[in-house]
């Protein structure tokens, strides 16, 4: 690896050259290649205009520049199976460029006089990346999570005014494609549907490309780096669609910065197991790999959701000489939990973790067993990817920190009021809401009504600052510390509890693989802390034992959980992090059922559901009354649920019903 050669050259040579790799100094028409290891390196990079680091102004121009270096080199490798005996699918840089041009021409032709807006509902197949970058070349790309509900998918497509839909089939398992007709019927702007691996030649995506030239565009693509070319859904799955507006420049600059920390050498092989509808999979991993002319190794169409990939991770890493990988802490814990495997002989230089906080015990245990430090990163869709990273300088990362800021960006802790108006800047080390400024910050949301809660009003210096919603601090040395989402704090009678106080204690138990603490609704305190745990395979853990562990080790008495629930499988999001919204729904159901049961008793049966179609979940409580006065029962239930801070709709089947706040 080139990094090894650079390290062997000695610090003196590196100091003379600064952050630039040999032959990688900024030069017009080619990509600059750096290795960011220190604050001095960051300052040196910031002396260069961001545009001068890149070989082009758009995603297409930059990928084309990389392809010109080695056209026959594998750009995309898709593992068809976690079994190494199964041959992979390989697409070279030359083929990738041809397909991008063809797809861009197709999207332009289909959309006519309108700017193409292409919705992409696909698993982790090469077609997803081809279609995304082609859509950005011709117009707008809108990648969508295939596992969202039909109504949510349709609302996102309508918000993006989709003219084309590229979708898959049930060959890849259950997904939104199972309700294709119903989705299309709700999107009036849609002109054509193209299906990846379709049995119908007329609708097959790759066959459709053959009708269009691969060596030239039949339209005039924009060369404006500030053009909005992607609407990326974010912010959950309920309520109005929240789509982040992304530009060529924002994506490319973030990809370049991440590569300067993880590795910018052309011979790198980048593990790809986060979905392409997520900023981590699409920009931080895939676009970054293409920008530097590296090889993207997709770890099956299911990524880390494929248990075979988890079991065979080190065999895959050795065989393909994988040099870097990005995963969630939950995935790292799953890899650590696999028994009787060896990491010996791997080529991984950097193993980054993102999407949620890395538990301290996991970081230490992973390094002890595999000799690799989990280097935490932090970012969000609204900044086109990542904004802080733990630099790979060969040393142990600062355990618990998300690292320091990437070039051209600043993060500070602010105190803001309920209307997101600036009150004051927090002192170094003081907790506040983390806000970021820099060229990577999104222009805003497609629905501008969301902008007010994101952009800080009255920020100092007239600079545009974005409220990330994360609580944290930056110390005097410039290292960031995340204490959780503002929305994830457990608020017990006005006492703010950091869930990590509980989670890190539970993760110390040898039988626990993952843990998540949330606030359970409480009629007196608002919330009370509880925790969910998933045991390691083959292990059995008792809730009472874990509660006692918390009583002994949780530092704040108010933070000791009142209940621990053991789950066989923790609910996960599509990117593999623990889904705390799903756990909150479970807690709401449990509390509602128990509260109602104490009142209804033997006089009826109870059914509890949660309606998530609005901006806030609502409990729907149905009582099948067998005896007693329905009006009296409804009033008693109404009174009981008045004390909770969530909405409940109570329905007693023999006619009485009431809506209770």
- Tell me the longest C-alpha to C-alpha distance in the chain: 87
Query: How much is the pLDDT for 11?
Result: 45
pLDDT for 659: 38
Percentage above 70 pLDDT, the chain: 92
What's the rounded mean pLDDT across residues 372-400? 89
pLDDT value for 470: 85
562 closest CA partner among 530, 516, 594:
530
> Which pLDDT belongs to residue 149?
82
- pTM comes to 0.78
**Mean pLDDT over each residue of the chain, to the nearest integer:** 88
Q: Say whether pLDDT at 467 is over 50.
A: yes
Q: What does R_g of the chain's alpha carbons equal in angstroms?
A: 26
Residue 535 clears pLDDT 90, i.e. is over it: yes
Helix (H, G, I), strand (E, B) or coil at 396: coil
Residues in the chain: 661
Quick: pLDDT tens for 553-565: 887 777 899 999 9
Do 562 and 530 meet the contact criterion of CB atoms below 8 Å apart?
A: yes
Q: Are 106 and 208 in contact (CB under 8 A)?
A: yes
- The rounded Cα 593 to chain-centroid distance in angstroms is 33
**pLDDT confidence of residue 164:** 97
In 3-state terms the chain splits into helix, strand, coil percentages (rounded to 5) of 35, 25, 40
pLDDT band at 73 (very low <50, low <70, confident <90, very high): very high
Q: What is the DSSP letter of 525?
A: T
Secondary structure letter of residue 483 according to DSSP: E
- Give the Cα separation of 421 and 423 in Å (integer): 6
Alpha helices per DSSP H over 487-563: 500-506, 543-553
CB 100 within 8 A of CB 130: yes
Element (H, E) at 432: strand 432-437
Q: Say if residues 350 and 374 touch (Cβ distance below 8 Å).
A: no
Q: Is the pLDDT of residue 486 over 80?
A: no
Answer whether residue 544 shows pLDDT above 50.
Answer: yes
pLDDT at residue 614, as a whole number: 56
Query: What domains can you pick out in the chain, each with its CATH number?
Result: 93-247 (3.40.50.980), 409-488 (2.30.38.10), 491-578 (3.30.300.30), 584-660 (3.30.460.10)
Structure tokens at 223: 């060369």
The answer on pLDDT for 434 being more than 80 is yes
Question: How do residues 260-290 score in pLDDT, each as one tens digit?
Answer: 999 999 999 999 998 899 899 999 999 999 9
What pLDDT sits at residue 16?
A: 57
- What pLDDT score does 1 carry? 43
Q: What is the pLDDT of residue 487?
A: 64
- Can you give the pLDDT at residue 2? 38
Contact at 8 Å (CB) between 406 and 261?
Answer: yes
Query: Measured in whole angstroms, how far is the alpha carbon of residue 503 from the centre of its chain?
Result: 21
Predicted pLDDT of residue 393 = 81
How far is residue 514 from each of residues 535, 538, 577, measured CA to CA in Å? 7, 14, 10
Per-residue pLDDT of 95-133, as tens digits, reads: 999 999 999 999 999 998 889 999 999 999 999 999 999
Record the tokens describing residue 541, joined without a space: 């853990």
Question: What percent of the chain clears pLDDT 90, i.e. is strictly above it?
Answer: 61
pLDDT of 485 reads 63
Query: pLDDT grade, residue 621 (50/70/90)?
Result: confident
pLDDT over 70 at 474, yes or no? yes
Per-residue pLDDT tens over the stretch 213-241: 999 999 999 999 999 999 999 864 445 67
pLDDT at 78 over 80: yes
pLDDT for position 616: 59
For 609, list phi and psi in degrees, rounded to 5: -130, 160
State the pLDDT confidence band at 7, using cuts at 50, 70 and 90. very low
pLDDT of residue 223: 93
Whether 340 shows a pLDDT value over 80: the answer reads yes
Pairing of strands 164-167, 192-195: parallel
- Does the pLDDT value for residue 655 go beyond 60? no
- pLDDT value at residue 343: 92
Specify the higher pLDDT residue, 380 or 15: 380
Q: What is the pLDDT of residue 643?
A: 64
Is the pLDDT reported for residue 26 higher than 50? yes
Long-range CB pairs of 202-207, under 8 A, 24+ apart, other chains included: 205/127, 205/131, 205/166, 206/99, 206/127
The least confident of 5-19, 79-93, 368-382, 467-481 is 5-19
Residue 257 has pLDDT above 50, yes or no: yes
Torsion of CA 570, 574, 576, 578, to 10 degrees: -40
Q: Which tokens in the block code for residue 301?
A: 């169409």
What does the pLDDT read at residue 636?
83
Strands (E), 124-274: 140-143, 164-167, 192-195, 228-233, 243-247, 269-272
- Report the sign of the C-alpha dihedral through residues 297, 300, 306, 310, in that order: negative
What average pLDDT does this structure show over 153-177?
Answer: 94
358 Cα distance to chain centroid: 14
Distance CA 619, CA 585 (A): 9
Residues 589-617: tens digit of each pLDDT: 898 888 888 888 888 888 888 876 655 56
């Amino acid at each position: 690896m080139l990094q090894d050669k650079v390290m062997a050259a000695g610090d003196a040579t590196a100091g003379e050259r600064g952050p630039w790799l040999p032959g990688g100094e900024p030069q017009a028409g080619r990509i600059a290649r750096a290795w960011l290891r220190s604050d001095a390196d960051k300052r040196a990079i910031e002396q260069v205009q961001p545009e001068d680091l890149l070989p082009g102004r758009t995603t297409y121009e930059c990928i084309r520049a990389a392809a010109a270096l080695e056209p026959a080199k594998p750009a995309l490798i898709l593992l068809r199976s976690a079994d190494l005996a199964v041959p992979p699918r390989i697409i070279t840089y030359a083929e990738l460029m041809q397909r991008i041009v063809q797809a861009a021409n197709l999207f332009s032709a289909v959309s006519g006089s309108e700017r193409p807006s292409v919705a992409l509902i696909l698993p982790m197949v090469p077609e997803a990346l081809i279609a995304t970058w082609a859509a950005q070349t011709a117009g707008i790309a809108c990648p969508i999570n295939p596992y969202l509900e039909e109504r949510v998918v349709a609302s996102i497509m309508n918000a993006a005014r989709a003219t084309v839909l590229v979708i898959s089939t049930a060959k890849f398992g259950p997904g939104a494609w199972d309700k294709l007709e119903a989705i299309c019927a709700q999107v009036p702007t849609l002109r054509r549907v193209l299906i990846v691996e379709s049995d119908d030649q007329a609708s097959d995506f790759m066959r459709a490309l053959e009708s269009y030239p691969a060596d030239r565009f039949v339209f005039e693509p924009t060369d404006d780096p500030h053009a909005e070319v992607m609407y990326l859904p974010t912010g959950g799955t309920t309520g109005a669609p929240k789509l982040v507006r992304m530009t060529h420049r924002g994506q490319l600059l973030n990809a370049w910065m991440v590569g300067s920390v993880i590795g910018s050498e052309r011979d790198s092989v980048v593990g790809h197991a986060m979905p392409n509808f997520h900023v981590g999979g699409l920009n931080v991993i895939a676009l970054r790999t293409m920008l530097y002319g590296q090889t993207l190794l997709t770890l099956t169409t299911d990524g880390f959701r494929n248990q075979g990939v988890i079991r065979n991770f080190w065999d895959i890493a050795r065989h393909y000489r994988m040099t870097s990988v990005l995963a969630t802490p939950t995935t790292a814990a799953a890899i650590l939990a696999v028994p009787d495997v060896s990491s010996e002989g791997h080529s991984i230089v950097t193993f980054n973790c993102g999407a949620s906080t890395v538990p301290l015990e996991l970081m230490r245990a992973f390094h002890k067993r595999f000799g690799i430090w989990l280097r935490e990163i932090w970012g969000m869709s609204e900044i086109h990817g990542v904004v802080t990273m733990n630099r790979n300088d060969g040393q142990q990362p600062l355990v618990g920190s998300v690292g320091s800021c990437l070039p051209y960006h600043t993060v500070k802790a602010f105190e803001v009021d309920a209307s997101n108006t600036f009150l004051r800047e927090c002192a170094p080390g003081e907790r506040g809401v983390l806000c970021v400024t820099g060229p990577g910050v999104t222009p805003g949301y497609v629905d501008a009504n969301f902008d007010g809660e994101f952009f800080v009003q009255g920020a100092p210096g007239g600079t545009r600052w974005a409220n990330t919603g994360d609580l944290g601090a930056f110390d005097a040395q410039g290292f960031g510390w995340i204490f959780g989402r503002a929305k994830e704090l457990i608020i017990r009678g006005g006492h703010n509890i950091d869930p990590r106080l509980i989670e890190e204690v539970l993760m110390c138990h040898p039988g626990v693989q993952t843990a998540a603490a949330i606030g359970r609704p409480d009629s007196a305190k608002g919330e009370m802390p509880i925790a969910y745990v998933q045991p390691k395979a083959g292990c059995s853990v008792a809730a009472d034992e874990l509660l006692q562990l918390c009583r002994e080790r949780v530092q704040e008495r108010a933070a000791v959980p009142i209940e621990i629930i053991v789950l066989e499988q923790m609910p996960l999001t599509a990117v593999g992090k623990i889904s705390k919204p799903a756990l909150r729904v479970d807690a709401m159901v449990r509390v509602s059922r128990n509260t109602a049961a104490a009142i209804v008793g033997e006089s009826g049966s109870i059914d509890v559901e949660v309606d998530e179609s609005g901006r806030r979940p609502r409990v729907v409580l149905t009582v099948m009354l067998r005896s007693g006065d329905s009006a009296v029962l409804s009033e008693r239930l109404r009174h009981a649920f008045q004390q909770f801070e969530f909405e409940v709709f109570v329905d007693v089947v023999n006619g009485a019903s009431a809506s209770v706040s």
